Amino acid sequence: MALDPTKHADWEIAEEAESRMKTVYELGEQLGLEKEELLPHGHYVAKLDYRKILERLRDRPDGKYVDVTAITPTPLGEGKSTCAMGLVQGLGKRDRSVIGAIRQPSGGPTMNIKGSAAGGGLAQCIPLTPFSLGLTGDINAIMNAHNLGMVALTSRMQHEANYTDEQLAKRNLRRLDIHPKKVEFGWIIDFCAQALRNITIGLGGKMDGFTMQSRFGIAVSSEIMAILAVASDLRDMRERIGKIVVAYDRQDRPVTTADLEVDGAMTAWMVEALNPNLMQTIEGQPVMVHAGPFANIAIGQSSVIADRVALKLADYNVTESGFGVDIGFEKFWNLKCRYSGLKPHCAVVVATIRALKCHGGAPIPVPGKPMPEEYKQENVGWVEEGCKNLVHHIETVKKAGINPVVCINAFYTDTDDEIKAVRRLSEAAGARVALSRHWQYGGDGAIEFADAVIDACEEPNDFRFLYELDTPLGKRIELIAREVYGADGVSYSPEAQAKLKRMEADPDLKDMGTCMVKTHLSLSHDPSLKGVPKGWTLPIRDILTYKGAGFVVPVAGAISLMPGTASDPAYRRIDVDVETGRVKGVF
């Protein structure tokens, strides 16, 4: 008997459910896998040999493709992962063959405020501890591959500073003439470490490295993570890693990992990481976990490989995009689907009553502090006003030609009149609506949700991209700002303006996608602006180049690629039972 989520923490529910887990061998049998296609990492976690599976099933038709996204979240999140797991469980209750494909959580949020990304209540991905604390080592591989690139770059800069051209030639090196103020790469670590945003390296003597300003980003913001998300196979990954631009020389020419002759070694770290990870829901449906989160500063999608495998193995693949429609879904739509060639049948827009109240005028919740009392009281007016944000996102999904389903992610404090208001306004905007109580009741609470998605997947759609790749970069940024965010226009810092001009003249960048970096807490660049802000301009302060991933990355507002750790982080409550080795407190 499952624990009551109104009385027990998520980690307690997960721990109890883990006593009834299927082994990876049972999951493999359920999926119809061949023995050599399953690569166990213990009894309850495995990797899947995607090459063998896709080769064996290449002629099998794909299943239905469903993306889970959300309205603009509060700082506490909207429960997309919970809804994705709930939908997988609900489809299971309808006897549908279904696989979830979600992202691996970062150690930064897990040890900070937001927690893991396993879902919650009776709609979770388990086992929780390995899921949250490193899993099979994919993020560690990304850190090693990325930081090896920085080792190669900084050591080359040191050697070029200390040796003549003749001395370099004797060491089988050519001078790359790297400009120390035009280094694009930094270091990465999988924690929120604001003290590492701006650092100086190479202090000491000439044997201690090249002295210069540097920085750390969080691991999942690495271009290597983006490549993992979009790569089609090992050959594609190898080619992409060789195109990564780490710096520019004094003639403003790009210096790549291939120029440093480190691209092969970087790829070597990533070979095993290319295989998706296999886990399960609390109710025993298979879940693939691959690639990473943070759609505000990265692509924030589960991998193309995981989706392709899931679509061959099941009738439904439920994948998930990070944060709201404006951030995660836009990248799913215009980047991931473009690279994969896959067309979704349906997009779920998750909404909570509390977030709608936040967009409608209620006090903004503060992570780590109790929820304001106003959220426990009925206020249909706030909900109706907040639905303007929801309707904005419904309209964006419709611009992609995809059938939208609004999932009201229900809490036991929501009232009937508040729920009726969301139904009425969502249906008026042209979306199906489903109330789902998966958090409290698991798959049994997600039947209405599953039925709505099944119906939406049966209807034809007219999928189309927002822009074509021959659209100039400035026009693309303008389209995203106006059509997805609701901005009046775009402005550029002098540095960004200069980069835009250079990039639009560079034929090598013509076919690259546009991966925006923007706060997830508002449709605008300002996280304090809720609802649907009017009369504002999107400020672009910088534009980065991810040639390996195939992205140009405009950076809007003051957002940082290295989040900070708050004053009351989750690690204060995480501990280990020294008798059993069980980890407690992860949520």
Higher pLDDT, 75 or 501: 501
The C-alpha atoms of residue 75 and residue 374 are separated, in whole angstroms, by 16
74 has pLDDT over 90: no
The C-alpha atoms of residue 159 and residue 180 are separated, in whole angstroms, by 13
Task: For residue range 303-312, list pLDDT tens digits in order.
Answer: 999 999 999 9
261 has pLDDT over 90: yes
How large is the average pLDDT for residues 329-348? 97
Q: Are 91 and 381 in contact (CB under 8 A)?
A: no
Task: For residue range 30-56, list pLDDT tens digits in order.
Answer: 999 999 999 999 999 999 999 999 999
Helix/strand/coil for 303: coil
115 has pLDDT over 90: no
Type of residue numbered 515: C
> How does 359-393 read in b/e, with b if 16+ C-beta sit within 10 Å?
bbebeebeeeeeebeebeeebbebbbbbbebbbbb
533 has pLDDT over 90: yes
Where residue 61 falls among pLDDT bands split at 50, 70, 90?
very high
Helix 380-399 vs helix 353-360: angle between axes, to the nearest 10 degrees? Answer: 100
486 has pLDDT over 90: yes
Per-residue model confidence (pLDDT) at position 433: 98
Helix/strand/coil for 136: coil
Per-residue model confidence (pLDDT) at position 587: 76
Per-residue model confidence (pLDDT) at position 32: 97
Q: Are 529 and 520 in contact (CB under 8 A)?
A: no
Task: For residue range 118-129, list pLDDT tens digits in order.
Answer: 899 999 999 999
Per-residue model confidence (pLDDT) at position 290: 97
Higher pLDDT, 105 or 330: 330
Taking the alpha carbons of 317, 318, 323, 324 in that order, is the dihedral positive or negative? positive
User: Which residues are marked as active site?
Assistant: 80, 82, 103, 114, 295, 323, 411, 439
How large is the average pLDDT for residues 457-464? 95
The rounded mean pLDDT for the chain is: 94
Task: For residue range 368-418, list pLDDT tens digits in order.
Answer: 678 888 888 999 999 999 999 999 999 999 999 999 999 999 988 899 999
Alpha helices, H only, 374-442: 380-399, 416-428, 438-441
117 has pLDDT over 90: no
Residues 6+ apart with CB under 8 A from 325: 69, 70, 71, 349, 393, 396, 397, 484
Judged by average pLDDT, the poorest of 140-154, 230-244, 295-309 is 295-309
Length of the chain measured in residues = 587
565 has pLDDT over 80: yes
How large is the average pLDDT for residues 430-449? 97
Per-residue model confidence (pLDDT) at position 116: 75
How large is the average pLDDT for residues 548-571? 91
CATH class for the domain made up of 473-556: alpha beta
Every domain range in the chain assigned CATH 3.10.410.10: 473-556
CATH of domain 138-272: 3.30.1510.10
The C-alpha atoms of residue 22 and residue 280 are separated, in whole angstroms, by 8
The C-alpha atoms of residue 408 and residue 269 are separated, in whole angstroms, by 42
How large is the average pLDDT for residues 567-583? 90
Where residue 113 falls among pLDDT bands split at 50, 70, 90?
confident
Q: Please name which of 501, 494, 493 lies closest in space to residue 541, comparing C-alpha atoms.
A: 493
Per-residue model confidence (pLDDT) at position 467: 95
From the CB of residue 56, how many other CB atoms can be counted at a distance below 10 Å?
Answer: 15
How large is the average pLDDT for residues 137-164? 97
Every domain range in the chain assigned CATH 3.30.1510.10: 138-272
Judged by average pLDDT, the poorest of 108-112, 275-279, 425-429 is 108-112
484 has pLDDT over 80: yes
Higher pLDDT, 510 or 204: 204
Helix/strand/coil for 194: helix
Task: For residue range 320-336, list pLDDT tens digits in order.
Answer: 998 899 999 999 999 99
How large is the average pLDDT for residues 69-75? 91
Per-residue model confidence (pLDDT) at position 256: 98
Helix (H) or strand (E) run with residue 106 in it: none
